[in-house]
Chains A and B, each alone.
Chain A
Amino acid sequence: MITTFREILFEKGLKFSTKVLARTVMMPVDDMDVKLRVPKDKHIIFIKRLRLIDNEPVLLQESYVPYHICPLLLEEDIENQLLFDLFEKKYGMKITRVENHIEIAYITSDEARIIGLSEVPGNPPEPIFLFRRDIDHVYTVN
């Protein structure tokens, strides 16, 4: 059972919205090919979304999906639909494993600008929680 950010907030009765900041295609960089288990010359869909509660930014989410898994993801409504729902209900993929990694990192100036945090000169960058979620899937026959 996978609980999503949206579901947790829905249970708490909070007003939740999403803003898509980027949805484009790129090649894997650094060790992305290893993490996604794709060859280095395969295309990847990159999605960057800002999650807001009562119009306050709370979460900056980046998703990397191998293009060959779900090319139509470039055209889907991802502001109002969950990626998990799209994968499972529309594209016949069964999520078989989810691995969550949580660490503390420092916010970059770009991220601070998007979230709306003002940098104070001389002060260290704000610490943030960094969540990484790795997902495995299989295809199901409908």
Chain B
Amino acid sequence: MKKILLYLNEAQKETIELALMLAQTFSSRLYVLFCLNSDKIKDEETKDRLEDEGWQKLYDVEEKAFQREIKVSLLFFEGKPENLIYELTKSYEVDTIILNSLAELNLLELINKNKAKTIILK
């Protein structure tokens, strides 16, 4: 477990905590992804609110990671989450993906597409 990707959208406290705990235990690099889901952006106001929310969540996790001396990289992208997770997992050679079952994405497509192990928290 050298490189972990945490999908932050809809991730609950326990999911974030698991990602941090695993990254600390295995001295992994933690990639934290917030995706601005293009299908959900109806207007500028929604986009603005989601951007604020995303960056705040990202920096909140970064602060927690820093306290535990975990190597962390923040990722903020706009697009379809399933595609972004696939592309990022491939380009950064991520071996473990962590997400919450509440995540609004096609979990089956995600699991089938990616070679990385996927941990889904209920």
A and B pair up:
no
